[in-house]
Chains A and B, each alone.
Chain A
Amino acid sequence: MSTDTLRRPAPASRPVRPRGARRSPGRVVVDVLLILGAAATSLPFFWMIFAALKPRSEATAVPPHLLPQEPTWEFVRTLFVDLDFGRYLANTVVVVAIGFVGLFLMAMAGYGFAKFEFRGKTLMFGAVLATMMIPVQVTMIPTYLILNAVGLTGTLVGIALPTLVSAFGIFLFRQFMSTIPDELLEAARLDGAGHGRTFVSIVLPMSGPILAVQAVLTFIAGWNSFLWPLVLAGEQSKYTLSVGLALLNQQVATNPSLQMAGAAVMVVPIVVVFIFFQRYIVQGFTMSGLK
């Protein structure tokens, strides 16, 4: 066996173009379409951000303007000063952090399903995939009862538990890890490494890209979580951002600018995280063998 097979295959590159070559007309059309598409897709965001800065009189004005004519920070300030958004933010961060434990569990499971044969494997993997098909509201009451029985309701751990692990994530890890050459693992085994060592010092480092992907997806899911924090929080001081945002929805007379400010607070950090990590996300999916 040549040593080439032990190295990860080089990622297929994008079509190489000589530097400085003028873009063909076809490509220009493609670029224009992409820009228009991106503008249309992100319009709601810009609307949200600007609406957060509009005074009440402009919020539902006719005709609507995209940009505020008299921008104000008062609503953003209200969120953190009068309402408890600072605390909701902190809770959300904790829930996200706990979600990263789930990340580790999913990686372990993906490795187990990818590289081992064992009794009940098909059944278990089938059950894992089956959980993707379960409608979530039906799990609400039983889940609450279970967490209540072990005293975890009203805690941030309890809030993070129901969605700690996702079948989608396990599937992705499995896909990716099944492409890790067996020879590599055998070699480690022959060197005397136990399964745990192998996992931590070989499999995980090689799974960098997919870990990054899942990390971002975990972050997003935790950040946006609404149902479980709502049902399990028990008290307002444990609410996350989503639930805090829902609180702003008064029965009839709403304050659009305040709601938009809340929505913006929810969205902006995620966008920042994503912009930093987006390269890894695409890379991770590429390397996960999804072809």
Chain B
Amino acid sequence: MKRLQSTAVAALATTGLLLGLTACGGGDETPAADGGSTELRVWVMGDAGKTLTEVTKDFTAETGITLKIDGIPWENVNDRLTTAVASGDGPDVVQVGLSLLPTFADAGVLEDITEQVKAYPELDPSNFPDAVSPQALTGTDAVTSVPWVSDTRILFYRTDILGEAGISAAPTTWDEMRSAAKTLAARGDGQYGYYIPLWDNTLPVQYTWQAGGDVIGADGAIDLDTPAFGAAVDHWTGFFADGSAPTASDWDQTQGFISGATPMVVSGPYLARAIDEAAPELEGKWDVATLPTNVTGTSLFAGSNLAVWKGSKNVDAAVKLLAHLADPEVQVAWYEAMSELPTTADALETVAAADPKVKVYADQLADARTVPMVPGWDLAANEMATALTDIVTTGADRDSRLAQLRDKVAEIEKNY
């Protein structure tokens, strides 16, 4: 017993010590080396580092501000965030995926740049879609991040395969979608009509919006007990019940589209690039369309914002960089290099004019919303995806499984 006690004391003391170390350790940023040139530390996702260096060459030439860019693997952004928060040693500018924005905000690492932003017309919120306005993202007018690149979900479909099946145009309503998928699945064994990624926890949310509802109640808490959510669940599970969607969890959407096994899929612009690269011979045989509607045709507004790390010693320089990246010309250049859609209205117009497919993206962006900006959403969304997957792959009873889900979500909310 004594040994246990002393171990416990040791443990608590050590914890206290380390938490103390966290508090006083770190926090010093890269200060201006000689008062003249500033160096900004920038975190971007994946291997976008090279492109970022390219599009900021002019910026560095004009302002003398150099960039030190680090790429973070998508899957590990949370690890880096955690250790940065723990040590107080973060970057100056960081790319924040919209789905992670609540986590970053909760961690208290986003600097309030409302004042600094006023100096730059490029960063005026009116330049950007309403879906990512400060009000939409934080519920206040405080600017803690600036939109950078956008992404949405549209319907990809094989014009040739649909044509052969007697479907002359893309489905425009929920009912048309169900029946088109069914027709296409009837082509034969191993052929489906529509691919729904089981891991995608945003699609049921989009369906809920399209049914005229929301997943967040008036009080700001997650509410999955609404008729709209019920309608979304039925629509989602309906495709599997019809046999129109495959249940394999490792289905590759690109391959499925190219081979024609799943000639319709809701995906983002990155898929277009993947198809062009992997199967250039398919050109002219496929197209994109805005999502089929129910009450609305609201899609997902995804993408990334840029934020300044709280406690950065180079806030002004950082905001300058943000302004540069929000310049319509730079936004267009980024799109041309990375295929990531711009967020500024001017840039969107420019790229939409050049490519009819991009016009579809831009149109859809005008009717798109972000995932709920509440901490704990991510966890709840994964529970939702698991519940839905359960229903269609193991035949779990819909109502009881959904009741289970609601209980789980209530628990999650308690911990946040």
Residue of A with least CB distance to B22: A145
A253 touches B254 (CB 8 A): yes
A195 to B86, CA, bound (A): 43
Chain A interface main SS type: helix
Of the listed stretches B266-274, B305-313, B320-328, B370-378, chain A binds B266-274
B86 touches A230 (CB 8 A): no
Q: Is B25 an interface residue (CB 8 A)?
A: yes
B89 touches A60 (CB 8 A): no
Residue of A with least CB distance to B252: A60
B interface residues (Cβ-Cβ under 8 A, vs A): 18, 21-22, 25-26, 41, 45-47, 49-50, 68-71, 73-76, 79-80, 82-83, 86-87, 89, 252, 254-255, 259, 267-268, 270-271, 273-274, 277-279
28 sample A-B contacts, Cβ–Cβ < 8 Å, listed by A number: A56-B278, A59-B278, A62-B255, A62-B259, A141-B82, A141-B86, A144-B83, A144-B86, A144-B87, A145-B25, A145-B86, A145-B87, A148-B87, A230-B80, A235-B41, A236-B49, A243-B73, A246-B73, A247-B46, A247-B71, A250-B270, A251-B45, A252-B267, A252-B270, A253-B254, A253-B271, A253-B273, A253-B274
CB distance from A91 to the nearest CB of B (A): 14
CB distance from A158 to the nearest CB of B (A): 12
Q: Among B18, B267, B279, point to the contact of A145 (Cβ < 8 A).
A: B18
Q: Is A109 an interface residue (CB 8 A)?
A: no
Q: Which residues of B contact A82 (CB under 8 A)?
A: 50
A148 touches B268 (CB 8 A): no
A60 touches B254 (CB 8 A): yes
Q: Is A201 an interface residue (CB 8 A)?
A: no
Residue of B with least CB distance to A143: B83
Q: Is A225 an interface residue (CB 8 A)?
A: no
Q: Which residues of A contact B89 (CB under 8 A)?
A: 148, 153, 234
CB distance from B24 to the nearest CB of A (A): 9
B255 touches A235 (CB 8 A): no
CB distance from A63 to the nearest CB of B (A): 11
CB distance from B13 to the nearest CB of A (A): 13
B75 touches A60 (CB 8 A): no
Q: Among B69, B76, B87, B259, point to the contact of A236 (Cβ < 8 A).
A: B69
Q: Is A275 an interface residue (CB 8 A)?
A: no
Q: Is A278 an interface residue (CB 8 A)?
A: no
Q: Among B45, B75, B277, point to the contact of A56 (Cβ < 8 A).
A: B277
Residue of A with least CB distance to B46: A250
B82 touches A248 (CB 8 A): no
Residue of B with least CB distance to A57: B278
CB distance from B275 to the nearest CB of A (A): 9
> Beyond A141-B82, A141-B86, A253-B273, is A149–B21 a contact (Cβ under 8 Å)?
yes
Q: Is A231 an interface residue (CB 8 A)?
A: yes
Residue of A with least CB distance to B74: A251
A246 touches B75 (CB 8 A): yes
B79 touches A230 (CB 8 A): yes
Q: Is A142 an interface residue (CB 8 A)?
A: yes
B74 touches A235 (CB 8 A): no
A235 touches B70 (CB 8 A): yes
CB distance from B117 to the nearest CB of A (A): 27
B76 touches A146 (CB 8 A): no
Q: Is A39 an interface residue (CB 8 A)?
A: no
> Which of the listed residues A56, A57, A144, A253 has the most CB atoms from chain B within 10 Å of its own CB?
A253
B47 touches A142 (CB 8 A): no
A237 to B21, CA, bound (A): 27
A253 touches B82 (CB 8 A): no
A82 to B47, CA, bound (A): 10
